[in-house]
């Protein structure tokens, strides 16, 4: 974690189904873990952010470390119709309501692109977020009393428990909360994925959102932790 952080938040993301897409049109695979863009989306939702407004929290504002405590993580693929886009990726024009809707076909139905979407099954991710103390307090307050419904990548994937675990003054306290959770669910070994610097990273994940709707590569460090030591 960043040594410059003033406070640490621990969040739990447990869901029967979740989908953190990393693809474009057509088949939508889910990322193996909760992405940083999804985490930021959940935080923005909790804080009442309106689409089109400047982001309340930017990727550079927080340092993220994810621990996968899932015991039986799996995947399944389901059919999904997508509106607002042609098969070649052309977006339908935005209407007066600010939404992209396909024009009506001759039989009175709206044209949709038929595709499929991958979901994760039985997720249990723990995330430590670190950053400036004032911002961490605001984020935790919003997570505890969200202004909008929070979900795991799509609205059909609600979380099955509260997200907030605690807010801590030190990295050691936050890490102990992860150890305690691992003991509670009976997990000794877990993979982790941490924000990193380019010089110390294991690879990159294309999930750092920009203000103009694009995604930039995020350097991450990946490893295995033994909670029994």
Structural domain includes residue 171: yes
**Domain-embedded: residue 107:** no
The boundaries of the domain holding residue 154 are: 7-79+117-226
Q: Which of 165, 188, 135 is nearest to 13 (CA)?
A: 165
Please report whether residue 96 resides in a domain. Answer: no
pLDDT digits over 59-82, tens only? 999 999 999 999 888 888 887 666
Nearest to 36 by CA among 177, 170, 178, 194: 194
Domain presence at residue 42: yes
Q: Is residue 110 part of a domain?
A: no
Q: What pLDDT does residue 126 have?
A: 97
Instruction: Enter the tokens of residue 198.
Output: 């380019």
pTM given for the model: 0.82
Contact 139, 9 (CB under 8 A): yes
Quick check: 85 and 113 in contact, CB under 8 A? yes
33-42, 106-115, 177-186, 210-219: lowest mean pLDDT where?
106-115
In a domain, 98, yes or no: no
94 within a domain of the structure (yes/no): no
Instruction: With beta carbons less than 8 A apart as the criterion, state whether 21 and 117 touch.
Output: yes
Distance CA 42, CA 14 (A): 13
- 141: domain CATH number is 3.30.70.2660
The pLDDT tens digits of the residues spanning 14-26 come to 999 998 876 555 5
The answer on pLDDT for 210 being more than 70 is: yes
When divided into structural domains, the chain yields a total of 1
101 lies in a domain?
Answer: no
pLDDT score recorded for residue 185: 94
pLDDT tier at 52 (50, 70, 90 boundaries)? confident
Cα distances (angstroms) measured from residue 75 to each of 16, 39, 177, 206, 207: 11, 20, 28, 21, 20
């Amino acid at each position: 974690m960043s040594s410059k952080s003033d406070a640490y938040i621990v969040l739990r993301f447990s869901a029967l189904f979740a989908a953190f897409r990393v693809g474009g049109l057509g088949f939508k695979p889910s990322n193996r873990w909760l992405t940083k863009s999804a985490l930021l989306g959940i935080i923005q939702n909790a804080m009442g952010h309106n689409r089109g407004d400047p982001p309340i929290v930017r990727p550079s504002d927080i340092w993220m470390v994810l621990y996968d405590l899932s015991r039986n993580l799996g995947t399944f693929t389901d059919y999904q119709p997508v509106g607002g886009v042609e098969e070649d990726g052309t977006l339908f024009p935005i209407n007066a309501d600010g939404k992209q809707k396909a024009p009506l076909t001759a039989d009175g139905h709206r044209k949709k692109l038929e595709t499929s979407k991958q979901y994760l099954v039985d997720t249990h991710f723990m995330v430590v977020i670190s950053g400036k103390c004032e911002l961490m307090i605001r984020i935790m307050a919003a997570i505890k009393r969200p202004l909008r419904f929070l979900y795991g990548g799509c609205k059909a994937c609600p979380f099955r428990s509260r997200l907030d675990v605690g807010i801590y003054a030190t990295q050691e306290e936050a890490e102990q909360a992860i150890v305690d959770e691992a003991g509670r669910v009976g997990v000794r070994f877990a993979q982790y994925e941490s924000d990193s610097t380019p010089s110390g990273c294991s690879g990159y994940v294309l999930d750092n959102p920009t203000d103009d709707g694009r995604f930039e590569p995020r350097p991450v460090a990946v490893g295995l932790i033994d909670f029994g030591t």
